[in-house]
Amino acid sequence: MEVRLIVFVILLTGSCHGNEPHGGVPKEVGCPIVEDISPCICSFYNHEYLDIDCSLVEDEDQLRQAFLADFPSTTFRSFNMENNQKVRILEDGVFSDVTFINVFIIQGVLEEMGEATLIGSAGTLVTVSLTKNRISNLPYGTMNSYTAMEYLDLSENLLGELPPLSSPSIKVLNIHGNSLGNLPVDTLHGLTNLTQFIANNIELTEITPGTFEGLVELEIVSAFDNHLWRLEAEAFTTSGHRLQYVDLHNNSITSVESDAFPDMDRESSIELSNNNITSLEETVWRPLLEEHVQVFLQGNPLECECDVAWVVGNKTLLDRLPQASCLSGVPLNLLDPEDFLHC
């Protein structure tokens, strides 16, 4: 689906080091002496922005030593450390007085960070990607200090739980691929500007009603490849009416209650393919379809008995159930209304 692609495009563009930067630094910048920061490498981007790559450092001490060099400019666009299999801990002060707009520490063995490891960049940091490490805990208590941070990618780590999070600026939170299980109902309530929440493959078994309450800017929720089995009323209430896309494919959902999705925007989509839904209850789905919400149900074992009589023959509503088929293999839009006159 197009919107599903948008989620990953946004995250990928945030982690590509050669794309347009989030913010910038003055043009009159300069790199430190090469030998003083080796094996870190300082480079210009577009003759205007400074990046530093420390993927080859042997340990945290070598990283700390590099940042004790004389830096003509201490304002950097990006810090990059990719596929480093040595650095496990980043303690407070490791970056001296150098600040960043973007931090990408990916595909490494990082396990923990100090409370103030990045605090020098509290007013400048926009993107933090820590994907594919071994992080089991983070200094969440200082999150509120990062007043410019919009993108936080913690995907594919070893997080076992999340406390209530608080940030006035975070728009995208990605926790994909962590074995978190269920989220406490107040985990996201402090992320008041959240627009995208990505929680695929986190062993989620339920979404407690109220989990998204008050997130009035929320547009995309992605929670596919989990163990969800039912959706209760108010599960996706946000009070914002801006939800554009909810992706729950490849779960085990058997039942959906009325008003599970009360805040979907017009022309929005709900992806429920490859679940275990057998009945198309009118009280659940008619209000959504009449609000121009597309619902994707392909791969569900729909029994297509009297529960579908209300939609059979209604082309307008059927068009908003694309590719939905009965367990027998017959597409919903090919069912004969006369077969349901007895209902």
pLDDT at 47: 74
pLDDT(203) > 50: yes
Residue 62 · residue 91 · CB < 8 Å: no
With b meaning 16 or more CB within 10 Å and e meaning fewer, what string describes 150-187?
Answer: bbbbbbbbebeebeebebebbbbbbbbbbebebbeeeb
What confidence tier does 8 reach under pLDDT thresholds 50, 70, 90?
Answer: very low
Percent above pLDDT 90 for the chain: 87
Percent above pLDDT 70 for the chain: 92
Average pLDDT estimate for 322-329: 95
pLDDT(342) > 80: yes
pLDDT at 129: 98
> Mean pLDDT of all residues in the chain?
92
Between 2-16, 51-65, 114-128, 198-212, the lowest mean confidence (pLDDT) is in: 2-16
Enumerate domains of the chain plus CATH numbers.
2-265 (3.80.10.10), 277-343 (no CATH)
What confidence tier does 112 reach under pLDDT thresholds 50, 70, 90?
Answer: very high
* pLDDT tens digits along 277-293: 999 999 999 999 999 99
pLDDT(310) > 80: yes
Average pLDDT estimate for 225-241: 96
pLDDT at 45: 79
pLDDT at 29: 64
pTM over 0.85: yes
226's tokens: 């989990």
Can you tell me the distance from the alpha carbon of 207 to that of 181, in angstroms, rounded to the nearest whole number? 10
pLDDT at 243: 97
